[in-house]
């Protein structure tokens, strides 16, 4: 996959994830304001997994247009709120975790190289 | 969930997805350069689903450090290559899809309102 395809596929993953987060936000709001609708929405969203955000929204539009429009508005709001910070956050996250993995692996290897020279010896009697 | 928590959770989803993409990139390279290792790696990555990138990498580090370091390098490269464009792409994607959903829903409703006035009538005889 080239750079453009990866960027496009990643965009789809983020859109679907923000749709899932929008569903969670609307669910939390409804639990306060309209418990019977929250119950219905929880059951609906349990049946339709929010794996592909657009497929989920099409199903919701067919069953409850008002909720679908609300989820769409919330996800648009979410993307506007968080996207600007994300490049820096993801870059930092991956660099930091890579460096942690490398450090831990080096520590493991250096412990092994301390243990290994004696590994063929019988346990010393105390 | 507040804005910060959503941004953090989204960061984790993107990191894991880019780890998955890095695995696919390394797999494609190995298929050309080292088919037996590609076979092993494909089988390993089939057993460990790349749902949580860090859990996957820890497992790979324990079994094949060189490949794990390679996946880490590729995901760092990927994030540097694509992240700058993503905010604009995701914003556009969500706005565009929302507007498509709204448009299609309006079209459906206007078709319904054309059909409905006659819906109680028998089919007209030709």
Residue scoring higher pLDDT (B91 or A1):
B91
Tokens of A54: 């657009």
pLDDT 10s digits, B2-13: 889 999 999 999
Residues of chain B with Cβ-Cβ distance to A6 below 8 Å are 18, 21, 78, 81-82
% of chain A at pLDDT higher than 90: 74
pLDDT 10s digits, B56-89: 999 999 999 999 999 999 999 999 999 999 999 9
Separation between Cα atoms, residue B92 and residue B85, nearest integer Å: 11
SS3 content of chain A, % helix, strand, coil (to 5): 85, 0, 15
Query: Residue B104 pLDDT more than 80?
Result: yes
- Mean pLDDT value across residues B119-126: 47
- pLDDT of B124: 45
A6, A15, A69 ranked by CB distance to B90: nearest: A15
Find residues 72-111 of chain B whose CB sits inside 8 Å of chain A. Answer: 72-73, 75-76, 78-87, 89-91, 93-95, 97-98, 101-102, 104-105
Separation between Cα atoms, residue A37 and residue A45, nearest integer Å: 12
Nearest-CA distance from A27 to chain B in Å?
A: 11
Return the number of other C-beta atoms located less than 10 Å from residue B24's C-beta: 17
Separation between Cα atoms, residue A82 and residue A92, nearest integer Å: 16
Best to test chain A binding among B2, B5, B7 (most A CBs inside 10 Å): B7
Nearest-CA distance from A126 to chain B in Å?
A: 33
Domains and CATH numbers, chain A: 3-107 (1.10.1200.210)
Nearest-CA distance from A83 to chain B in Å?
A: 5
- pLDDT of A25: 95
Q: Pick the closest to residue B78 from A102, A80, A52, A5 (CA basis).
A: A5
Asked whether the beta carbons of residue A7 and residue B79 sit closer than 8 angstroms, the reply is no
What are the Cα distances from residue B82, in Å, to A10, B36, B95, B100?
A: 9, 31, 20, 26
Asked whether the beta carbons of residue B1 and residue A25 sit closer than 8 angstroms, the reply is yes
What are the Cα distances from residue B83, in Å, to A6, A114, A123?
A: 10, 41, 53
ipTM above 0.85?
A: no
Find residues 29-68 of chain B whose CB sits inside 8 Å of chain A. Answer: 53-54, 57-58, 61, 65, 68
């Amino acid at each position: 996959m080239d750079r453009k395809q990866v960027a496009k596929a990643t965009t789809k993953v983020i859109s679907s994830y923000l749709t899932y987060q929008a569903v969670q936000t609307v669910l939390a709001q409804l639990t306060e304001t309209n418990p019977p609708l929250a119950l219905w929405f929880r059951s609906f969203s349990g049946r339709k997994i929010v794996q592909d955000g657009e497929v989920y929204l099409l199903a919701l539009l067919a069953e409850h247009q008002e909720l679908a429009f609300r989820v769409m508005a919330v996800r648009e709001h979410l993307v506007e709120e968080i996207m600007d910070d994300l490049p820096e956050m993801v870059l930092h996250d991956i660099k930091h975790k890579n460096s942690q993995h490398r450090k831990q692996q080096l520590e493991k290897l250096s412990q092994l190289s301390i243990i290994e020279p004696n590994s063929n010896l019988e346990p010393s009697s105390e």
